[in-house]
Amino acid sequence: MKSSATGTNRRYWSERQVLPAQLPKNGSLSHYFLGLMFPALIHTSTHLKGGIFGVPRFHKRESQFSIRTPWKFSFQPAYVDMYGLLRRRKILSHEKGFRYRNMASQNMEKLESNVAIIDYSQDVPLSTSYEVAMEALSSLIRQKKRGDRKGIGGKYGKLDRMRIYLKILDLEDHMAGLKIIHVAGTKGKGSTCTFCEAMLRESGFRTGLFTSPHLIDVRERFRINGVDISEDKFLLYFWNCWNRLKEHETEDLPMPPLFQFLTVLAFKIFVCEQVDVSIIEVGLGGRNDSTNVIEEPVVCGITSLGMDHTEALGNTIGQIASHKAGIFKHQIPAFTVPQVSEAMDVLQENAQELTVPLKVVEPLDSNELNGLKLSLSGSHQLSNAGLAVSLCKCWLQRTGNWEKLFQNDNKEANLPEAFLRGLSKAHIAGRAQIVPDLSSTSSSCISSEVAETSGNLIFYLDGAHSPESMEVCAEWFSSAVKENNPSPSLVSFSSHDIESINKVPGNGYMQHEKFNIQEINKISKKILLFNCMDVRDPQILLPRLVSTCASSGTFFSKAIFVPSISTYNKVTSGTSVVPSDISSKDLSWQFSLQRLWEKIVHGIDTDSLLEKSIKMDGAETLPRHQFLYEDASNCSPTDGYLACSAVIPSLPLTIKWLRHCVRENPSLRLQVLVTGSLHLVGDVLKLIRR
């Protein structure tokens, strides 16, 4: 059914369908996505085909929106039981002072026919409605912190619930059509999935990629053709999925917890977007993971296994391997990388039980890259790339596409050109990523004079949080700083150069050749910026980091311990307000990390010195001015002062302080390794991009 842009010939929909009371005269998208009900705006030159959810989808893979072009409106069922959310929003607004701009004029009237009429304020921004969606997502978080294992109730197990959710969303008959590559593992599963996506996209296929966690915005988890899903589409799919599940909510079938919801949302997005291939990363483990509702993948992969999430998966590598092998399906091909014998035995035993042809893939030989570099840095990525190549080849063969695309290529010999392009272009944020901080060398405008009187601040970001990944991170950082230490400073560049810098992914390489940079000698200091969740064991992580760096001749001048901004029980977006109140911040965990660090560095107990520091007042929140310049070789905790480490109560304050240091000292280059937590890495990215 259609309605004119003027709204003069409006007609009501049948039960549980919606009609906006006001249609904007300028056709702006932002006026419609307020987080309650969402009409799909379709360009008049685009032919529609109704999706399986009653949500129209585009036949064209890309569509340009313009407010100057006439529009036709297709309104789909999107009735929302919003009373709980509205109550939650009121409470949040009252308790936390969060203001929803220009929402006072919104009125909702529920008619006897179950038709909702909504009057939207004409100047409510899209970002506000997106924040409402983030609140809704946050309401699905059952755990107060990582490691909680509180059940959600109801009479169904997790995977049984997932099957019911798929049925409610009319997805169950469409899962096989997603032609899924399913990947589990401890280390490298995100990188492996990213390599797979890039290679198949370069081969001409429309790709869907689902990974976790996100760093800045939840939309990062859903990529279509290598690009995060847009806010418009996310809101449309999100609320359609939310509404239908909410309608079926009962005591026996509650709303899904966060990751289960995001998983079914990913399936819905990929089906509606008509992707040719879906690459799905397991969230936690495998056997009991929400993604294991997948019954007919095309191929499965297991990346390198290690000791992580032991509270959920078991205390031995064999127990962990058993969980990962749970994604194997009867007679579906599977690939893995070389594992320790205990893990490999378990994988092979599970494969035999299901008649799964399991092949072990050796790391990719760098000579096969024809002189190109993997876009993701670190020697460990050769293992991930080798696994990804095998997964993609198998996918192409089993879907009947290999011969069509690469009939002149030997299956076992050289890599297809499309694979080489994908391996050299794949990008994943927060893993071995180098980000120069431009604001540390700039004010409102950039000039060579300003830049030449400022130092450099470079962030090395890696969300390592397990012993094995921490070792890999240390190897990468040591190699990267050696490559980049003789590198040019970020000086004397134009506005065009700045735009180029912002567009460079920076997964492990500075790519200086893209910039107009002058060589200046700098004094380099390596700083560790660290935090980790309290379910991790810093007594394993920090020594592993320090010893691996030291074996490569890399030593930290200073270490800074800081709490993350992100919290485990709230979903935020890239535009969410950053809390500024630090007066009530509990820093006991950060001080325990500092205590451990000092013990590693000096071999002595610093409890008595830290007793006083823990009671820090506002005047002592930042290290003293000389902190960065004190020689680490002579560093010792004397006179009640720890000269090699510091606890700073706020991450924004830490970034500001680091920027101030390099601006004040033109000969200084700070190379800051940010690691220990993906939350911390995401928070740093969020702050330096603002």
What value does the mean pLDDT take over residues 136-145? 83
Q: Is the pLDDT of residue 558 over 90?
A: yes
pLDDT of residue 554: 95
C-beta separation of 669 from 653 below 8 A: no
Q: Token pair for residue 218?
A: 């939840």
Total domains in the chain come to 3
Q: Which residue's entry shows tokens 């959310």?
A: 85
Q: Is the pLDDT of residue 586 over 90?
A: no
Q: How far apart are CA 197 and CA 388, in angstroms?
A: 9
What value does the mean pLDDT take over residues 613-627? 61
Same domain flag for 406 and 515: no
Classify burial at 64, counting beta carbons within 10 Å of its beta carbon; exposed 0-12, middle 13-18, buried 19 or more: exposed
Evaluate the CA torsion angle 92, 95, 96, 101 in order and state its sign.
Answer: positive
Sheet strands side by side (includes 433-436): 433-436, 456-461, 668-675, 523-530, 558-561, 645-647
Assess if residue 148 is contained within a domain: no
Q: Token pair for residue 99?
A: 């203001």
Among residues 408, 425, 442, the one where a domain terminates is 425
Binned at pLDDT 50, 70 and 90, residue 231 comes out as very high
Binned at pLDDT 50, 70 and 90, residue 155 comes out as confident
Q: Is the pLDDT of residue 670 over 70?
A: yes
Same domain flag for 295 and 444: no
- What phi, psi does 203 have (nearest 5°)? -85, 0
Q: Which residue type does 608 have?
A: S
User: The CATH number of the domain where 301 resides is what?
Assistant: 3.40.1190.10
Q: Token pair for residue 404?
A: 């069509």
Question: Is 618 or 386 the better-scoring residue by pLDDT?
Answer: 386
Assess if residue 2 is contained within a domain: no
What value does the mean pLDDT take over residues 100-122? 31
Question: Is 175 or 580 the better-scoring residue by pLDDT?
Answer: 175
Same domain flag for 220 and 264: yes
Q: How far apart are CA 462 and CA 380, in angstroms?
A: 14
What is the percentage of the chain residues whose pLDDT exceeds 90?
Answer: 53
User: The CATH number of the domain where 561 resides is what?
Assistant: 3.90.190.20
H helix or E strand, kind and range, residue 389: helix 381-398
Binned at pLDDT 50, 70 and 90, residue 513 comes out as very low
Using only C-alpha atoms, the chain has a radius of gyration, in whole angstroms, of 26
Assess if residue 628 is contained within a domain: yes
What value does the mean pLDDT take over residues 617-630? 67
Q: Is the pLDDT of residue 28 over 50?
A: no
pLDDT of residue 667: 86
107-121, 341-355, 571-585: least confidently modelled range: 107-121
Nearest CA among 566, 573, 579 for reference residue 96: 579
Binned at pLDDT 50, 70 and 90, residue 570 comes out as confident
Among residues 371, 399, 425, the one where a domain terminates is 425
Report for 57-66, 230-239, 372-381, 661-670: range of highest mean pLDDT:
230-239
pLDDT of residue 404: 86
In sequence order, what are the beta bridge partners of 227? Answer: 224
Q: Which residue type does 685 have?
A: L
Give the domain range for residue 669: 433-689
Assess if residue 281 is contained within a domain: yes
pLDDT of residue 127: 59
Same domain flag for 503 and 608: yes
Assess if residue 667 is contained within a domain: yes
List pLDDT tens digits, range 173-212: 999 999 999 999 999 999 999 999 999 999 999 999 999 9
Q: How far apart are CA 73 and CA 511, in angstroms?
A: 46
Same domain flag for 539 and 471: yes
What value does the mean pLDDT take over residues 574-599? 82
pLDDT of residue 352: 97
183-192, 216-225, 382-391, 573-582: least confidently modelled range: 573-582
Same domain flag for 458 and 589: yes
Same domain flag for 297 and 247: yes
Q: β-strands 222-224, 227-228: how paired?
A: antiparallel
Binned at pLDDT 50, 70 and 90, residue 124 comes out as very low
- What phi, psi does 450 have (nearest 5°)? -65, -45
Question: Is 2 or 148 the better-scoring residue by pLDDT?
Answer: 148
Q: Is the pLDDT of residue 300 over 80?
A: yes
User: Peptide bond preceding 213: is omega within 30 degrees of 0, i.e. cis?
Assistant: yes
79-83, 254-258, 453-457, 541-545: least confidently modelled range: 79-83
Assess if residue 8 is contained within a domain: no
Same domain flag for 338 and 216: yes
Assess if residue 9 is contained within a domain: no
Among residues 425, 454, 478, the one where a domain terminates is 425
Q: How many CA atoms lie within 13 A of 103 on its CB side?
A: 20
C-beta separation of 133 from 239 below 8 A: yes
Q: Is the pLDDT of residue 129 over 80?
A: yes
42-56, 335-349, 465-479, 613-627: least confidently modelled range: 42-56
What value does the mean pLDDT take over residues 84-99? 40
Report for 69-78, 226-235, 376-385, 439-448: range of highest mean pLDDT:
226-235
List pLDDT tens digits, range 455-468: 689 999 999 988 88
- How much of the chain is helix, strand and coil, in % rounded to 5? 40, 15, 45
Nearest CA among 73, 374, 449, 61 for reference residue 195: 374
Same domain flag for 361 and 479: no
What value does the mean pLDDT take over residues 120-128? 48
Q: Is the pLDDT of residue 582 over 80?
A: no
Same domain flag for 337 and 446: no
What value does the mean pLDDT take over residues 657-686? 92
Q: How far is CA 630 from the centre of its chain?
A: 37
Q: Token pair for residue 339?
A: 């594992």
Question: Is 477 or 71 the better-scoring residue by pLDDT?
Answer: 477
Binned at pLDDT 50, 70 and 90, residue 235 comes out as very high
Same domain flag for 536 and 569: yes
C-beta separation of 644 from 598 below 8 A: yes
In 193-332, DSSP assigns E strands to 207-210, 222-224, 227-228, 277-281, 299-302
Q: How many CA atoms lie within 13 A of 480 on its CB side?
A: 30
pLDDT of residue 349: 97
Q: What is the mean pLDDT of the chain?
A: 76
Same domain flag for 665 and 634: yes
Assess if residue 150 is contained within a domain: no
Q: DSSP per residue over 81-144, as a string?
A: --HHHHHHHHHHHHHH----TT-TT-EEEE-TTS-EEEE--TT--HHHHHHHHHHHHHTT---S
Number of H helices, E strands in the chain: 20, 21
Q: Is the pLDDT of residue 498 over 60?
A: no
Q: Is the pLDDT of residue 99 over 70?
A: no
What value does the mean pLDDT take over residues 372-395? 95
Question: Is 245 or 112 the better-scoring residue by pLDDT?
Answer: 245
Q: How far apart are CA 649 and CA 582, in angstroms?
A: 6
Neighbour tally for 676: CB within 10 Å? 28
- What phi, psi does 370 have (nearest 5°)? 55, 40
